[in-house]
Amino acid sequence: MSASFLHIPCTRPQQRCPQLSCRADQASGASDKQQQHSSTRRRALGAALLLPAAAVVAGPRRAAAEELAAAAAAPPPTEAVASPPALDVVSWPQWVDRNFSFSYPPGFKEVADLSYAMPPKPTSGSPTDQVVENPLKAEVRSSGGEQRINVVVRQAAAYQRTLLQVTDISQLGDARKVAKLLIPPGAVVAGVTSTAVAQPPRDTGTVLGVIERQPVTYYTYDLLLPDPAATRVQLTAAAQLGRLYVLAASAPGQEWGEAGPLLREAALSFRVRYKI
């Protein structure tokens, strides 16, 4: 019997070359470093690209914030309002009476006949010595006749009895108290003012020499009457030597916007002529 022999190859592990392994490690390390360097460059490049963009965005925001802050601190714009022209009252015509005077707007005409305001004569049985006096002492009217300025004078005792002769309207009370004596029922009082006008001293030409005069008090009222025309009235009142002087400047409500300033100046120009 012949024997056969089987060939079994050698299975010893192969030994790796130390030089090849070192080179591979070096190559791997170099690749890692290159990747890290590349990543670092990308991050740096990205940051470099982002910085200008951030600066561009932040710049306008800061500028806008500064503009808003400046706008908030600045005063609000004001609109120019045209003021009405000043009235040249000095050049106006005047009504001069021995007891009072006032100025009235150009274009107004003086009313010569005031008899329409004359009160009726006393009835039979009345005292024969009773004197009837027309209280209307002056009147001027606009060309249309709807705007009027008139002066009424009555004894102060007709409004309120006093022990002494009234020489100043303040002796009848303050402006609001006197309003109850002068203003008709139903009228609306829109404004009340009180003004004391100084009087110049007077040289008597006697042993008394120069004497000082007391100021004259004027009460002024802005009224709205309860009539169909909604008449507006600027009323000025003063007293002297036992008499009450009342100037009334009136116009229909629809004309007051234009005529009001003129009539108001006329009422403010009213003066009683001081007497000793």
- Whether 2 is in a domain gets the answer no
Structural domain contains residue 14: no
How far is 32 from 38, CA to CA, in rounded Å?
A: 10
Residue-level pLDDT at 54: 38
Predicted local confidence at residue 93, as pLDDT: 96
Q: Which residues of the chain have pLDDT under 50?
A: 1-15, 17-24, 27, 30, 33, 37, 44-64, 68, 81-82
Residues 112 and 234 in one domain: yes
Q: Does 79 reside within a domain?
A: no
| Structure confidence at residue 61 (pLDDT) | 43
- What local confidence, expressed as pLDDT, does residue 48 receive? 39
Same domain, 153 and 43: no
Same domain, yes or no: 109 and 192: yes
Task: Give me the CATH number covering residue 115.
Answer: 3.40.1000.10
Q: What is d(CA 147, CA 255) in angstroms, rounded to the nearest whole number?
A: 9
Whether residue 51 is found in the same domain as residue 106: no
> Which amino acid, 164?
L
User: What local confidence, expressed as pLDDT, does residue 66 receive?
Assistant: 56
56 lies in the same domain as 153 = no
Q: What is the dihedral of CA 81, 85, 87, 91, to 10 degrees?
A: 170
User: Torsion angle of alpha carbons 34, 38, 40, 41, nearest 10°?
Assistant: 130
Residue 39 lies in a domain: yes
Number of domains in the chain: 2
pLDDT in tens, 255-275: 999 999 999 999 999 999 876
Q: How far apart, in whole angstroms, are the C-alpha atoms of residue 164 and residue 10?
A: 158
Q: Which of 137, 139, 134, 136 is nearest to 150 (CA)?
A: 139
Residue 20 belongs to a domain = no
Encoded amino acid at 77, one letter: P
- Residue 151 included in any domain: yes
Domain membership flag for residue 76: no
What pLDDT is recorded for position 201? Answer: 83
pTM of this prediction?
0.66
Report pLDDT digits (tens) over 108-158.
Answer: 999 999 999 998 877 766 555 567 889 999 999 999 999 999 999 999 998
> 115 in a domain, yes or no?
yes
Could you list the residue range(s) of the whole structural domain that residue 54 is in? 28-71
In terms of domains, do 139 and 222 share one?
yes
Asked whether residue 64 falls in the same domain as residue 194, the answer is: no
